Amino acid sequence: MPKLSIRDLDLNGKRVFMRVDFNVPLAPGGQEITSDKRIKAALPTIQYALDHGAGLVLASHLGRPKGKVNPEMSLKPVAVRLSELLGKPVAFAPDCVGPAVEAMLPAPGETLLLENLRYHPEEEKNDPGFSAQLAKLGDVYVNDAFGTAHRAHASTEGIIQFLKPAAAGLLMEKELTYLEKCTKNPAHPCVGILGGAKVSDKIEVIENLLKFADRLLIGGAMAYTFLKAQGKPTGKSLVEADKVELAKSLLDKFGDKLMLPVDHIVAAEFAENAPNEAVDEIPDGKMGMDIGPKTAAAFGEVLRSAKTIIWNGPMGVFEKKPFDKGTIAVGLAVAESGALSVVGGGDSEKAVKSAGVADKISHISTGGGASLEYLSGLVLPGVAALTDKK
């Protein structure tokens, strides 16, 4: 059932407790933000709430302070940057719960950013008492932090036991809309692209995608485990020896849908601009670093005829040139397909940007782990807890 959206709420005069993802990268020392894209991603929902007469309490984690106060992981620089982006003051609380915070609660049109939720160990433990303290700070709850939706924490799930209605923010709503479009009755042909290092990270994704995808293209180091399962030489390539039998069973079960590399770019060492060559079979003493040109062409042919594309993970060691060519070729094919395309976060986002086609992708997810779990068919606690639409 669809979840309640912030658009469905009467916000006028209400205090909104909004979970956002302000887990931004900071320069050493914790005073300077090196990328504000996560802050900018939350701006539409923040502005919507303010424009509709709400007082706004924003809550986020930053880094992994492990339940202790760490000044290098303070959200104070975020309050400064958010104030600049909004063009109005953003108050900053010294903590995220307690009397001092309650004394600072915002009036309609005002914004208060709480200090790092993870300074309290109760946040990650989903402690009911801590959840209740957070709930005292709002009249309604909005979750716009898709990147933490796969965590059952106090600010993403526990608080909703004490604070309802609970709605999705605009960014969360967009994430769910696109993920649902490509997994629930997608337009066919539906093609999945999986890369990255480990089969073990993607087992559930493979099995779930193949319930509705017509083809699954496998690249990256995880392909070598599958090639090993086929009895093909893998040289010094990264192979998960304990997952070869699993790869074999997946090939036996889904072999007609799985598409593996037919050639490879190999090198003797893991280094930028290492001497390399394209080969059909990986020789001893060499390791696979990228898909080869024949594979890139074959993958491209499948992708250009697709109507729905789901992409998670690069095709090779794309951060080291010239081993980015396979990922770039795949990115260009996705862009040229005109298909509804959804790309998982993290390395997948970097791969799309390195291919120069980010503006041609329908949706680039802001949550790598969350999108991966969604594509695995797992329930995301932060989504499941939101109020259902009637």
pLDDT digits over 89-128, tens only? 999 999 999 999 999 999 999 999 999 999 999 999 999 9
- Out of 44-58, 128-142, 186-200, 225-239, pick the least confident: 186-200
- Which residue in the list 30, 63, 67, 369 is annotated as catalytic? 369
Q: Do domains 6-170 and 177-375 have the same CATH topology?
A: yes
- Out of 29-33, 85-89, 220-224, 260-264, pick the least confident: 29-33
Residues 266 and 287 sit within 8 Å (Cβ to Cβ): yes
In sequence order, the 6+-apart residues with CB closer than 8 A to the CB of 302 are: 189, 191, 215, 217, 259
Domain ranges of the chain: 6-170, 177-375
- Which residue in the list 164, 198, 294, 360 is annotated as catalytic? 198
pLDDT of residue 1: 56
Fold of 177-375: Rossmann fold (3.40.50)
pLDDT of residue 345: 63
Closest CA to 217 of 311, 318, 316: 311
Closest CA to 82 of 110, 51, 101, 54: 110
Does the annotation count 346 as an active-site position?
Answer: yes
Q: What is the pTM of this model?
A: 0.87
Query: Is 283 in a helix, a strand, or coil?
Result: coil
Longest dimension (CA), the chain: 70
Question: Tens digits of per-residue pLDDT, 299-339?
Answer: 999 999 999 999 988 999 988 889 999 999 999 999 999 99
Give the mean pLDDT of the chain.
93
Which tokens go with 325?
Answer: 């060519």
State whether CATH 3.40.50.1260 applies to domain 6-170.
yes
Q: Which residue is it, tokens 């390399």?
A: 276
pLDDT of residue 279: 96
pLDDT of residue 358: 87
Residues 182 and 207 sit within 8 Å (Cβ to Cβ): no
- Which residue in the list 138, 220, 345, 346 is annotated as catalytic? 346
Question: Tens digits of per-residue pLDDT, 156-200?
Answer: 999 999 999 999 999 999 999 999 898 888 999 999 999 987 777
Does the annotation count 38 as an active-site position?
Answer: yes
346: confidence class by pLDDT, cuts 50, 70, 90: low
Residues 318 and 272 sit within 8 Å (Cβ to Cβ): no
- Which residue in the list 19, 38, 151, 236 is annotated as catalytic? 38
